[in-house]
Amino acid sequence: MKYQTVIAGVGGQGVLFAAKVFTEMARHKKLPVLGSQTFGMAQRGGSVMTHLKIGTFDSPLVCEGDADLLLGLDCTEAHRTLPYLRSRQNGKGAMCVVNTPSVHAFPDGRVADLLAEMGVTIHACNADAMALKMNNPQVANLVLLGFGSSREHFPFSYQEVRDATEALSGKAHRTANLDALERGRSL
Amino acid sequence: MDMKTADHRILLGNEAISRGLVEAGCQFMTAYPGTPSSEILPAVVEFRKELGLDLYAEWSTNEKVALETALAAAYSGKRAAVAMKQVGLNVAADPALSSAYIGVVGGLVLIVADDPGLHSSQTEQDSRLFALFSKLPALDPASPQEAKDMVALAFELSERHQIPVLLRPTVRVCHSEQSIECKAVAAPFRPADFEKNPRRWAATPRARMALHQQLNQKLAAIEKEFETWPGNHAFFPAGTTQQRAPLGIVAAGVCYAYLKDQLASLGLADRLPLLKIATAYPLPRKLVGDFAGRCERLIVFEETDAAVELQVRLPIPVWGRLTGHIPSHGELTPGVIEKLLVSAAREAGLAANERPANRMQEAVAGMELPVRRPTFCPGCGHRSTFYSLRRAFPEAIFPGDIGCYTLGLNQGSVDTVHDMGASISMASGFFHAYAQDGKSPPIFATIGDGTFYHSGAAGLENAVYNGARFVLLVLDNGTTGMTGMQPTPEFGKTADGHAGGIVHLETLIRGCGISYLEHADPHDLATFQRKLLDALDHTRAENGGIAVVLARYACVTQLKGLGPDKTALPVEIHHGPHPRTPGTASALDAEWMPRHQDQLSPCAEACPAGNDIERLMTLAAADNWTDAASLIYAEHPFPSSLGRVCPHPCESKCNRGAYDDALSINAIERMAGDRGRSAATFATRGPASGKTVAIVGGGPSGLAAAYHLARLGHGVEIYEALPEIGGMLRWAITEYRLPANVLQRELEVFDALGIQLHTGVRLGRDMAWSELDRYDAVYLATGAWAQRRLKIAGEDLAGVHSGLDYLYQVRTGQAPELGARVAIVGGGNTAIDAARTARRKGAAVDVYYDVLLAIAEEIGTARDEGIIFHHATVPVGFEPGATGRLRLLLHDLAVPKPEAGKNSPVFSTGSSEADSILVCIGGDADLSYLEAQDLAVKGRLAVDAWGRTRQPRIFAGGDASSTGAGTVVGAINGGKRAAQAIHERLSGKTLDAPSLQLAAGPGIATAIAYGKATACPSPRASQAAAVPDAQAIKLQFFRKTPRTELRHRAPNDSIWNFDEVNFGLGSAEAAAEARERCFHCGVCTRCDICVNVCPSAAIKQVDGAYQIDAGKCTACRICAAECPRSAISMPQTGVCIACGYCTTWFECPSLVKGADGLVNIDRRTCIDCGMCIQVCAQGAIRAQEAGPMEIRT
């Protein structure tokens, strides 16, 4: 398996936790992982991006045009990160799972056309609204993961995401986190 | 890698380094946090716990002490490590350079993380160049795994050559994650064993020369070792073995990792030889030379500068930063490297598969997505701190510092960010640079607690020593926030949990020589701003200096919410229809825009005489007593008298009273009268109207009416029963309160106005009522001189006198002897005057009263003069006493009359004796002159508010009238009102009463009646005028300044004569009182605060007036909210009007602006701190369930 993921969001949204779920799943499957994270100033509400490469790689960074999956915790940040997505390869397109307040995640005509041309499958949901409904806005990242992992062609199964989340969650948050995944799946 | 059996973990590069440290037997670690190095020490502590190791770890207070501390451990033979970020090495430069010469015994690895691309740093410096400069060997890992592996090798190298080794990961190694193989601890721990050797450990310059020589030898030996270092390899693809390759690639550090993936995707992997370099200094030159021997040219990829490239000496071309093939700034990301490789390959004559242009990048760039800059967390106290600074001191210089609070940049209150601790030294520098030119702009330096411990104290100590003056805000959130919540010395909590000491911030600050240290909480913006202003005052005070404000609040990210001392205050933003001009999309209707609109000061509203007190203060402040007097003369001719005897209701209403003490308005009026021109030189008779008015009674009411009627051009004659005019001013108010010459000067105006005076003529005695028939109007102001009766037994006994009569008799030199002991009955001003007069005649005086109504200051002075007051004690009868004295039977009102005695005529609780009794309970009007005229009701002349009786020609006022006067100023009020009513009748014009009225106050502004003819037209009068209360005044803009005390003659001196007791204020004091203490409530003083606070620069001053650029104004209402004195009129809409102020200047990420510009709360991130409520001047942000808004205008 060689799989390149970009997770985009805003400092404080839980980009790091979402990335941890991926690395935990890879670790569990004994797959080599390389990744790169944002720390420091940007964690104070700036644009935050994590690169994750599962399989045999040397470089920790994903090149623009190479990502198989874009997980957008924030719609604006997802836009910014779209250039990382790859075009269709061997008939398989990349995947974009995005949290969006509106029905159309990428309403811009030119962007939408390009995405279609590149064969990118878009799965959009309003994870924030769901998290707010749960009275726990912090779990939007997990709602989105639950949503994404229950779609076809996601690199890991919902169960794998669930197991990894369970393993990584502290006692205080475990139930809420798993509930968020479940709510995401139902979207 | 056999991933099935070994302990593999996914670790961050920094954690991999930590794992390497513990596995290599590192026993001692110090660090100072800084991105991208911060995670190393905490991970060491975690592994220490996991493995049960005896490993000492500390967060040092800065990088210099971290290195020095670790060096001592290495001197003792232990393996030690130090971690810091690249700029931290600058702080540790001094020990670092010496450590190369002196070396170590136990291995020492100095881990310095570089930040190419400046993700979170000030410089893109390359620490490998620092290694070259300091002659320390430097290692440059390409991946987390290599970084981990290098640690053990570095310890061995360090111990072999007795030299510290610099391990230099870059951000992409530090913050990359990788599956890492974890092993057991390999090296044994060693006991500390410091072997004394002063020639080495305390080497003198001579000995250092030998050490330098040894260092060079060590480096030569190390270079030799590096030739075969496991991390240095040359790869020659199969196709390149036969002949020289057109291009060879040298890749150091993380660039190697990028290139490995990149060469493959570009189809160059099998065509280009690749040399991986992991030992940046000293460069294994033979290895590089051999590699170069098989290439026609080389290109060097390395982060961040040209450390390897600089060390290469080869006969073939070497492309890199020095040749312009590689950019000299910015991070070499895979994308950048790919482009550079393609163009280098082409230049070398090779074909490369270029990646097609990323059209998505263009498409997204075309969308102009908003840049998301870092900002303070929702609820962070820093935001309020910096917001307050900008709001309160828009013109200050703000030296800032490094930490989360660097983001104060967003609020416009961080002007400089240089290096850690520089805020304080720079504040000192700014101070001295301006002081040299005789200037002192406000300077506010900001520094966090962690940074203050790091390097703030040194700057503060220097600033104190060299006499700088500025305000220093130490922002104490109890942690090192930006780098991940490392503890500070404030709580004694150490990195690995060993027992630590506490260094209190306060103690440290005071230890730097600071005497002014105040605590402040920015969550209450107004109080916080007030404290900042106090601090600024200290920097400008004669004995002042540096003022330190310690703003202490918890880190909301560390606490994951508000601190325990804060209550959640959920807010909501109100949206709804708001008052826009119909048909326009953007503009608010004009009435909702700011308007510089003066209001009426409460003092002026309170003044019965109608004085324009706010304006009087402006003239007084300028020491302009001539115009100050003229201003008063527009309303009445008695400033010197009223400035002495007025009960000054203006001072009771002074907004300053709610803050410190009311302004000394009365004394300033007095100064205007005494120091300014006389009324006689101001007032002129108006053009003759041909009408005549008789004024009956030459007291203050009659005189006030006469003054205005004459100025309005009417022929005025005054009939006065007593020998001279002045009424109560002359006869009842005592000489020691109002000296005769002072009054005389004021009365001169009546001659000057050509008013005919008939003194000694009493209506009803010396002239008949019918004689008034020849006048067009008559004003009756005959006063209330007849002593009211007490209606108690013994009232007519010899020795019982009317107080008013007594005062008159003293004035005319006919006063009876009162004896040694005098009792006064009554609590009004006449009672006090009578008491003090009797005291001056040598009597011991007791005052019996029900309620004290007299002027408080006069009561105080009377007490000082030895007069005894008997509270709530009234006489119930007088009778002859034992020794020829009079006995007063007294009733203490606190003792209720017993039921049984209800009907008994006299109930007394005690008695007292006196030689004389002066009854001062107010007078009745003697209206016997009315003959058959039906003008009186209940013994007073019945009038309306304008002195009109039921006969159109007859007007009345003062104490004789039903409105009463009570005081001199009340009498003047009646006279002024009657003058206006009489003028209306005589001129045939309708009295525009509302236009004269001072809001809801008693006074009227007669100045307006004179139109442009007067010196001081007064536009302030109108019944509709708004009066700002104390809540409307922005107290934070005003310094607390005590009221200047009036000077008095000492009681011991004053009771022996009738000289004036109250000296008032000196003119300089009076001017200063007005200048420094008047708020100028509701009146624009052109202070320019609106100009400075306007976020859109829409306000400017043109020719002394403010103009608002409607095109720029966003209607945010900040100008109105910030006007210190409420002189800008702009009603609150109570709804969000999309002005953008909160999102721009407060910039809380939980306030989110929609496409329509309206702001909503992002409930995902809002922590209910409630601070934004204080920010929205339109009142759109309110506490949930706060109820309907109280609209402020």
Q: What is the mean pLDDT of chain B?
A: 91
CA of B224, closest CA in chain A: separation in Å? 28
> Which of residues 858 through 917 in chain B touch A, CB cutoff 8 A?
none
| Calpha distance B573→B569 (Å, rounded) | 13
**What is the third-level CATH fold of B233-361?**
Rossmann fold (3.40.50)
| Calpha distance B447→B1125 (Å, rounded) | 33
Q: What is the pLDDT of residues B478-505, one digit of tens each?
A: 888 778 788 899 988 999 989 999 999 9
Chain B positions in Cβ-Cβ contact with residue A100 (cut-off 8 Å):
none
Q: Residue A154 above 80 pLDDT?
A: yes
Q: How confident is the model at residue B1015 (pLDDT cuts 50, 70, 90)?
A: very low
> Which of B1007-1016, B1045-1054, B1177-1186 is predicted least confidently?
B1007-1016
Q: What is the pLDDT of residues B511-544, one digit of tens each?
A: 999 999 999 999 998 899 989 999 999 999 999 9
Contact between B175 and A59 using a beta-carbon 8 Å cutoff:
no
Kindly report the backbone phi and psi dihedral angles of residue B654, in degrees, each rounded to the nearest multiple of 5, phi listed first: -60, 125
> Which of A35-44, A99-108, B575-584, B642-651 is predicted least confidently?
B575-584
The CATH class for the domain spanning B602-677+1024-1047 reads mainly alpha
Q: How confident is the model at residue B2 (pLDDT cuts 50, 70, 90)?
A: very low
For the four alpha carbons of B927, B929, B932 and B935, in that order, the dihedral sign comes to negative
- Of B678, B762, B661, which Cα lies nearest the Cα of B718? B762
Q: Residue B407 above 60 pLDDT?
A: yes
Q: Give a three-class secondary structure readout of A12-41.
A: CCCHHHHHHHHHHHHHHCCCCEEEECCCHH
- pLDDT, residue B124, reads 97
- Of B1113, B1085, B1114, which Cα lies nearest the Cα of B1099? B1113
**Best to test chain B binding among A39, A47, A53, A102 (most B CBs inside 10 Å):** A39
Residue of B328 and A37 predicted with greater confidence: B328
- Of B264, B284, B265, B285, which Cα lies nearest the Cα of B274? B264
Q: How confident is the model at residue B647 (pLDDT cuts 50, 70, 90)?
A: very high
- The b-or-e profile of B933-964 (16+ CB within 10 A means b, else e) is bebbeeebbbbeebbbbeeeebbbbbbbbbbb
Query: CA B17, B20, B25 angle in degrees (round to 5)?
Result: 135
Q: What is the pLDDT of residues B610-630, one digit of tens each?
A: 999 999 999 999 999 999 999
- pLDDT, residue B1014, reads 38
B682-784+925-991 has which CATH code?
Answer: 3.50.50.60
Question: Residue B165's beta-bridge partner residues?
Answer: B109
Q: What is the pLDDT of residues B352-389, one digit of tens each?
A: 888 888 999 999 998 888 887 888 999 999 999 999 99
Contact of B868 with B847, CB cutoff 8 Å: yes
Chain A positions in Cβ-Cβ contact with residue B404 (cut-off 8 Å):
44
For the four alpha carbons of B324, B330, B331 and B335, in that order, the dihedral sign comes to negative
> Which of residues 322 through 351 in chain B touch A, CB cutoff 8 A?
333-335, 338
Domains in chain A and their CATH numbers? 3-185 (3.40.920.10)
- pLDDT, residue B204, reads 92
Contact of A78 with A108, CB cutoff 8 Å: no
> Which of B225-234, B380-389, B1062-1071, B1182-1191 is predicted least confidently?
B1182-1191
Q: Residue B256 above 60 pLDDT?
A: yes
Percent of chain A scoring above 90 in pLDDT? 77
> Which of B353-357, B775-779, B1115-1119 is predicted least confidently?
B353-357
Q: What is the pLDDT of residues B65-87, one digit of tens each?
A: 999 999 999 999 999 999 999 99
Task: Tell whether B256 is within 8 A of chain A (Cβ).
Answer: yes
Q: Residue B989 above 60 pLDDT?
A: yes
| Calpha distance A184→A97 (Å, rounded) | 12
Chain A positions in Cβ-Cβ contact with residue B8 (cut-off 8 Å):
27, 30
Taking CA atoms, what residue in A is nearest to B480? Answer: A40
Taking CA atoms, what residue in A is nearest to B403? Answer: A41
User: B7-12 and A121-125: which strand pairing?
Assistant: unpaired
**What is the third-level CATH fold of B381-559?**
Rossmann fold (3.40.50)
| Calpha distance B991→B1009 (Å, rounded) | 10
The whole-number average pLDDT for the span B245-263 is 94
B572-597+1086-1183 has which CATH code?
Answer: 3.30.70.20
Q: Residue B3 above 50 pLDDT?
A: no
Contact between B120 and A39 using a beta-carbon 8 Å cutoff:
yes
The whole-number average pLDDT for the span B893-914 is 77
The whole-number average pLDDT for the span B643-654 is 96
Q: Residue B1017 above 50 pLDDT?
A: no
CATH of B7-226, one of 3.90.420.10, 3.10.20.600, 3.40.50.970, 1.20.80.30: 3.40.50.970
Q: Residue B1013 above 70 pLDDT?
A: no
User: B923-924 and B821-825: which strand pairing?
Assistant: unpaired
Cα B406 to chain center, whole Å? 20
Kindly report the backbone phi and psi dihedral angles of residue B334, in degrees, each rounded to the nearest multiple of 5, phi listed first: -55, -40
Q: How confident is the model at residue B1021 (pLDDT cuts 50, 70, 90)?
A: low
User: Could you report the predicted ipTM of this complex, rounded to two decimals?
Assistant: 0.93
Residue of B862 and B6 predicted with greater confidence: B862
All residues at 6 or more sequence positions from A121 whose CB lies less than 8 Å from its CB, including other chains: A93, A94, A95, A96, A151, A153
- pLDDT, residue B1192, reads 56
Tell me which residue in B1, B179, B375 faces A33 most closely, judged by beta carbons. B179
Contact of B839 with B865, CB cutoff 8 Å: yes
Same fold: B381-559 with B602-677+1024-1047: no
Dihedral of CA atoms A43, A48, A54, A60 in degrees, nearest 10, equals -80
Task: Tell whether B1150 is within 8 A of chain A (Cβ).
Answer: no
| Calpha distance B1169→B833 (Å, rounded) | 59
Q: What is the pLDDT of residues A16-57, one digit of tens each?
A: 899 999 999 998 998 989 999 876 666 667 788 999 999 999
The domains of chain B are located at: 7-226, 233-361, 381-559, 572-597+1086-1183, 602-677+1024-1047, 682-784+925-991, 786-924
Chain B positions in Cβ-Cβ contact with residue A128 (cut-off 8 Å):
1164
- B228 CB-contact burial (10 Å; exposed 0-12 / middle 13-18 / buried 19+): exposed
Q: Residue B855 above 50 pLDDT?
A: yes
- Of B688, B739, B742, B743, which Cα lies nearest the Cα of B711? B688
The CATH class for the domain spanning B786-924 reads alpha beta
